[in-house]
Amino acid sequence: MSYPHIILVHGAWADGSSWSKIIPLLQAKGHQVTAVQHPLTSLADDVAATARALALVNGPVLLVGHSYGGVVITNAGVDPKVVGLVYVAAFAPDEGEAVGDLGHEFAPPPGVSELRPDASGFLSMTAQGVADNFAQDLPPAEARLMHAVQTPTHGATFGAKTGQAAWKSKPNWYVVATHDRMIQPQLQRKFVEALNAQTLTLASSHVPMLSHPVEVADFIDGAARQLQGQ
């Protein structure tokens, strides 16, 4: 039986290079992997980009989403090809929820104060914000690279409501980052409880796939092995 094809979905203020350490590790374990490059112009546009990647795959798919990418996979994951979902320090909204609705019961994450809007409504993260709050456990050169390749993200994206939530009907996994300064760790644990997800907890910043790539790749591999043949 073959493994499901793994489709990786990046978050806001990022691009597909977020998975640059994960992809070779998964390929070395025999997995077929695709990293979506979505435009971060709207939730509908980003879900459509992931749907195009799904359409190119013959057979089952394991969707993996980081950060805002969790919203994308929650929506795109209703595709019948999708057999499982892995959330990596990610939002996992319920039907009718938007990112902007989530986490208000907790103190605001420090990273949000380092977002800067442009005249068109797109938000970018400052270099200081990436270094101190987004990727504080990466070497400075890696944090500077993350800042350089970030995709500005339209603010309206965070007000878009989720449709049917795929995690309610499909197996799911969650990586909790306990030193996250972008999505509160308490909110991540709340998602884990709602999803009843199989969980990996790491003492990581918001980017565990870059600061703890071996552990994250092994976790994704384990999910794929559980789903093998479905």
Residue 230 pLDDT exceeds 80: no
Residue 149 pLDDT exceeds 70: yes
**What does the pLDDT read at residue 2?**
79
Distances from the Cα of 7 to the Cα of 48, 115, 164, 215, angstroms: 14, 28, 20, 18
Label residue 67 by pLDDT band (50, 70, 90).
very high
pLDDT digits (tens, 9 = 90+) for 193-205: 999 999 999 999 9
pTM recorded for the entire structure: 0.97
pLDDT digits (tens, 9 = 90+) for 155-205: 999 999 999 999 999 999 999 999 999 999 999 999 999 999 999 999 999
List the CATH number of the domain containing 110: 3.40.50.1820
Number of domains in the chain: 1
How much of the chain exceeds pLDDT 90, in percent? Answer: 97
Average pLDDT, stretch 137-148? 97
User: How many C-beta atoms lie closer than 10 Å to residue 56's C-beta?
Assistant: 9
What residues make up the domain containing 180? 5-227
Q: Do residues 134 and 111 make contact, with C-beta atoms less than 8 angstroms apart?
A: yes
Residue 82 pLDDT exceeds 80: yes
Average pLDDT, stretch 76-103? 97
pLDDT digits (tens, 9 = 90+) for 105-120: 999 999 999 999 999 9
Label residue 1 by pLDDT band (50, 70, 90).
low
Average pLDDT, stretch 85-101? 97
Residue 208 pLDDT exceeds 60: yes
Label residue 229 by pLDDT band (50, 70, 90).
low
Q: What is the mean pLDDT of the chain?
A: 97
Q: 179-209 burial by CB neighbour count: b if 16+ within 10 A, else e?
A: ebbbbbbebbebbbeebebbbbebebbbbbb
